[in-house]
Chains A and B, each alone.
Chain A
Amino acid sequence: MDILRDKAAIVGIGETEYSRNSGISDVALLLQASVRAIEDAGLTPKDIDGIVLGYTNVVAENLMTNFGTKDMAYSASAHLGGASAVASLQSAAMAAATGVATNVLCMAGWNGYSKLRISSGMEGQPQLAISQLRSFEEPYGVFVPAQWYAPMARRHMYEYGTTSRQFGAVAATMRKHAQLNDKAIMRGNPITIDDHQDSRMVADPFRLLDCCLESDGAAAVVVTSRERAKDMRHQPVYIMGVAEGHPDFPDQIANRPVLTELGIKKAAPRAFAMAGVAPKDIDVAEIYDCFTYIVICQLEDIGFCNKGEGGPFVEAGHIELGRELPVNTHGGLLSQAHVLGMNHVVEAVKQLRGSAGKAQVKDAEIALVSGYGDLGDGSIAILRR
């Protein structure tokens, strides 16, 4: 189970500006984030011999051509929607640890506001496991992720008494953290739980402030082997444990036996076993937050609290900076930017390097980052300095 523990490390991170009007193509965004991550690692684009892509219509060949790559040893795609960014770390770690590739680039990004807004439907979006929905849900008016996940949230409210105000506690906390982050689109716009309650309903029970931002931007990381990582520019951030997990019937939600569990429930025990640590050992967590409820459900499924206790857990303030489990110290998708969760990976690395600025968790040694996407897929990585 510990076959990959600490065998690979993140040695470079890069981000573009986060905005709603990048003015450049998806490929250009990905290249910009990638080049910054490569430079951060002290490498050049020609040193990259592995590429793992996630939720994008861009193919690795586009990037190789721009880099002038002579010998790309490994290219792969993680098909887990928003869980792809963290899942790509698993693929990169395997490639780097085995020597299949030396320097593996993982990236995510898009013009998620100026070009292809996911809230306006899935037409033109990268491939997801939703082909059945086209025939069996769209005729009944179900088109977008908010509508896919809202019935899961309603079941959680029904079964465990979770409340909309508890969703609001997630939204307000992410927004609070965003006030500390220079790159956060929602910096300067703090909100309260009452503001959340006053925001318009989008897909009941999801209000506007339950839904993440739509953004333009990209982020990237470079993964290499433990041996090489020691000699790189920055202190390595080791991948202690990493896993992906899929719910039962991953291509539909309605017939899933339990609607209140996500794929990460299967991945988390594997990641913790690989890492040799437990939830109590985590100093900071960057949790994929496409919707507030999805944070609450993941906190339970990862094991930070029991099933059904996620609502009270966030309402008690446990996920705020300075408390038991600081979550989304950068503001997350809800308040920093929607960069498909690669911004969560970058933030986890910053926390472990001690370069997270005003949102730095003191002496953070072990970070957890999660991904969530498609119709319930999950991914999880446990990182240490």
Chain B
Amino acid sequence: MSQYNKPLPQITPQTRELWEGCRKHKLLIQRCRACGTLRHYPRIMCPSCGSWDTEWVKVSGKGKVYSWTVAHQAFHPAFIDDVPYASVIVELDEGVRLVTNIVDASPEELYIGMPVEVVFEDATSEIILPKFKKSSWLQGISSSQIVR
């Protein structure tokens, strides 16, 4: 693997399980043990009920494109070769949203509601980032064939 020079997440006590889950190719999201509310990004307290009692649950990894932006200039030197690239908000079927990239779709292919599913991309030997790809039933279908 060539030198990875993009920013990496900081692993903190609050986020360690999420990144360890990614290393096992499991997408884990925080859930309040008291009221069951899912939340992302990881937080200390439940914003719904105030509980500090937290667990991590594996989610389906399936979701839909909620919104996105396409960078047409590099705002960080490590992204120069990626321009233009899309940073995408994906809403998981479970309701929480993540900012991510879609690994197999060009910016022109994106649309709100586009079904996607999680993939895991090695950044370094320590960090594996959750990214997304077009849902398997979309594979091989060109975007022009989809009635939106």
Contacts and interface: CB of A to CB of B under 8 A. Distances in A.
Contacts of A155: 66-67, 112
A255 B96 contact: yes
B75 A147 contact: yes
A141 B40 contact: no
Nearest to A143: B75
B75 A121 contact: yes
Contacts of A137: 87, 99
Interface stretch (A14-22, A198-206, A353-361): A198-206
Given A151-B67, A154-B69, A254-B97, A136 B9 contact: yes
A140 B87 contact: yes
A252 B69 contact: no
A232 interface: no
A123 to B, nearest CB: 10
B41 A252 contact: yes
B67 A147 contact: no
A119 B71 CA distance: 12
Nearest to A148: B69
A141 B67 contact: no
Given A143-B75, A151-B69, A203-B70, A134 B10 contact: yes
Nearest to B99: A137
B89 interface: yes
B49 to A, nearest CB: 16
Given A203-B71, A249-B47, A254 B112 contact: no
Contacts of B68: 151, 154
Interface residues of B, number: 39
Contact of B69 (A120, A150, A200, A255): A150
Contact of A141 (B39, B47, B76): B76
Contacts of A132: 41
Contact of A136 (B6, B69, B99, B112): B99
Nearest to B7: A138
A143 B76 contact: yes
A147 B7 contact: no
Given A135-B9, A135-B15, A141 B97 contact: no
A141 B89 contact: no
Contacts of A200: 72
B138 interface: no
A68 interface: no
A147 B70 CA distance: 8
B32 interface: no
B5 to A, nearest CB: 12
Contacts of A255: 39-41, 96-97
A140 B89 contact: no
B69 to A, nearest CB: 3
Contacts of A147: 69, 71, 75, 87
A139 interface: yes
Interface string A48-78: 0000000000000000000000000000000
Interface in A100-150: 119-121, 132, 134-144, 146-147, 150
Given A150-B69, A152-B67, A204-B72, A141 B82 contact: yes
Contact of A204 (B82, B97, B107): B107
B15 A140 contact: no
B72 to A, nearest CB: 4
Interface centre among A146, A151, A152, A205 (most CB of B within 10 A): A151
Contact of B75 (A120, A139, A254): A120
A120 B12 CA distance: 27
A142 B87 contact: yes
Contacts of A252: 41
Nearest to A159: B112
Nearest to A134: B10
A187 to B, nearest CB: 27
A259 interface: yes
Contacts of A136: 9, 40-41, 98-99
B129 interface: yes
Interface string B62-97: 000011111111011001001011011100000011
A88 B131 CA distance: 41
18 contacts: A119-B75, A132-B41, A135-B9, A135-B10, A138-B7, A140-B101, A141-B71, A142-B69, A146-B69, A150-B69, A151-B66, A158-B67, A201-B70, A203-B72, A204-B69, A254-B66, A255-B96, A259-B67
Given A154-B68, A206-B69, 14 more contacts: A119-B75, A121-B76, A134-B7, A135-B15, A136-B98, A142-B69, A144-B75, A151-B69, A155-B112, A203-B69, A204-B107, A249-B47, A254-B97, A255-B41
Q: Which 6 A-B pairs have the closest CB atoms?
A: A150-B69, A151-B67, A135-B9, A204-B70, A143-B75, A138-B7
